Amino acid sequence: MKRIFLFIGLCVFSFSMAQQNIELLPFNSPYEDEYSPFIYGSGIVFCSNRMRGLLTGTYLDTTSSSRNTQTDIYFVPSVQRNCKPRLFSPVLSSPFHEGPFSFSADKKIIYFTRNQILSKKKASDVKQQGNFLGIFYAVYTGDQWSEPKPFPYNSSQYNVIHPALHPGGKMLVFASDMPGGFGGYDLYVCFWDKNGWTKPENLGPKVNSPADEAFPFFSSWDQLFFASRCQESSGGFDVFSSRYHAGRWTKSEKLPEGINSPFDDFGYVINETKDTAFFASNRYGSDDIFMMTGKNNMVLCEPLTESKYCYDFFEQTNSEDLQSTMKFEWDMGDGTRIRAMKTTHCFNQPGTYKVVLNVIDSLTGEIYYQEAEYLLEVEPPEGVFFSTGGDLRTGKKIIFDASQTNFGDYRIVQWQWDFGDGTTATGM
């Protein structure tokens, strides 16, 4: 069967600004703050300082002077209807401060910010007593949450706040004003191993700045979103993103207008299909939660050419050291042998090849000795690759196959096809 192979651009998915819709959610209060949303089923969990009986007070400032009253964690079951928010869990609530927070992928574990000392009679005592904020976690067992336990790296000398748990459960990013950072609040990461959480590591200057970084969130495709007051922000907090790739964090990139504004914009989260996001902003006065919906478009496409898998090989040994009858011979591991000190060879396909450099006696044609040996990993190019089976004819069904696409360490969450005739589809 005839097969047509096509390489297309390496693309980045983003919201199409022309098709973007941003709306203020109806449960927001005109006077209190709502912020740090987290998608929870068909609804969202969020932070708010709305009055709950007689429980109100102050807590230590966590990077914004507008969020200096006691907050709790609330839940609204649907963002499509005008539902009344309710307290998320009495077990996780105290007269002091709770939030922001992060859930495990199965929603069975919650990591959240709260005051470390809960024994004071009044929440207004917190500021005077130096009650720093820390991270706590709880597990959902049966029909309720367990009693919260402290994160091992909480401190009585500084704040440890805003946890963001990776969906795989192996990384935890948080913000802290601990000494030794680049600015006020920096982002740090811990890795989970057999002994628990490793010691915090600063995310470095590609993410952190001399200002504040806070409110992180990990997407299911390993992208870290966070808020920053860095020099590139439009004013106050803006939302940026970075990726952890090959043991390093990529340089942060600012999200577009609409999400960001001249006001504080922070607490960004996005669903797995990338067509719905939530974030907080004080663009209308108090902190409110907004929902953004839109179609994913492919942008920043760079055309790829078919790789020839070509490599240069050379030997630094001086050929004058060899006897006149001795010659170098490269065995490329694919059946090809080349007699030369320096050469270029193109492999037909990706794979692991055992490359050997031999010294050959030209009189006998036999190997005199082996000069070097190593394994060469020939990897496919990173990018989108798809094929079609059969002839391309009008009215005939065509099968598109993108299973040979290679994005390296990135995980593809969803495929979206645009066939150029007004029809679209999903799937590999």
416 within a domain of the structure (yes/no): no
Q: What does each of the 428 residues of the chain score in pLDDT, given as a tens digit?
A: 333 333 333 444 444 444 679 999 999 988 899 999 999 999 999 999 987 544 443 343 444 434 456 899 999 999 877 789 999 999 999 888 999 999 999 999 999 999 988 665 554 554 555 689 999 999 999 889 999 999 999 999 999 999 999 999 999 999 999 999 998 999 999 999 999 999 999 999 999 999 999 999 999 888 999 999 998 998 899 999 999 887 889 999 999 888 999 999 999 999 998 889 999 999 999 999 999 998 655 444 445 555 678 888 877 666 566 667 788 889 999 999 998 888 888 998 888 999 998 888 878 878 888 888 888 888 877 666 666 666 666 767 777 777 777 666 666 666 777 766 667 777 75
341 within a domain of the structure (yes/no): yes
Residues 126 and 25 in one domain: yes
Print burial letters for 7-16: b (CB count within 10 Å at least 16), e (below 16).
bbebeeebbe
**Which of 262, 294, 326 marks a domain boundary?**
294
Residues 211 and 340 in one domain: no
Residues 79 and 121 in one domain: yes
Residue range of the domain that includes 358: 310-378
Residues 183 and 273 in one domain: yes
Residues 178 and 213 in one domain: yes
Residues 265 and 369 in one domain: no
Task: Please give the tally of structural domains in the chain.
Answer: 2
28 within a domain of the structure (yes/no): yes
325 within a domain of the structure (yes/no): yes
Residues 226 and 360 in one domain: no
Q: According to the 3-state scheme, what is the secondary structure of the chain?
A: CCEEEEECCEEEEEECHHHCEEEECCCCCCCCCEEEEEEECCEEEEEECCCECCECCECCCCCCCCCCECCEEEEECCCCCCCCCEECCHHHCCCCCEEEEEECCCCCEEEEEEECCCCCCCHHHHHHHCCCEEEEEEEEECCEECCCEECCCCCCCCCEEEEEECCCCCEEEEEECCCCCCCCCEEEEEEEECCEECCCEECCCCCCCCCCEEEEEECCCCEEEEEECCCCCCCCCEEEEEEEECCEECCCEECCECCECCCCEEEEEECCCCCEEEEEECCCCCCEEEEEECCEEEEEEECCCCCCCEEEEECCCCHHHCCCCEEEEEECCCCCEECCCEEEEECCCCEEEEEEEEEEECCCCEEEEEEEEEEEEECCCCECEEEEECCCCCCCCCEEECCCCECCCCCCCCCEEECCCCCEEECC
362 within a domain of the structure (yes/no): yes
Q: What is the CATH number of the domain that holds 78?
A: 2.120.10.30
72 within a domain of the structure (yes/no): yes
How far from 364 is each of 337, 356, 368, CA to CA, in Å? 16, 19, 9
Print burial letters for 199-215: b (CB count within 10 Å at least 16), e (below 16).
ebebbeeebbbebbbbb
Residues 67 and 141 in one domain: yes
Q: How far is CA 401 from the centre of its chain?
A: 27
Residues 316 and 212 in one domain: no
Q: What is the CATH number of the domain that holds 325?
A: 2.60.40.10
255 within a domain of the structure (yes/no): yes
Using a 10 angstrom Cβ sphere, with 0-12 exposed, 13-18 middle and 19 or more buried, the burial of residue 36 is buried
242 within a domain of the structure (yes/no): yes
pTM: 0.67
Residues 167 and 42 in one domain: yes
Residues 350 and 245 in one domain: no
**Which of 231, 260, 294 marks a domain boundary?**
294
What pLDDT was estimated at residue 421? 67
Residues 161 and 55 in one domain: yes
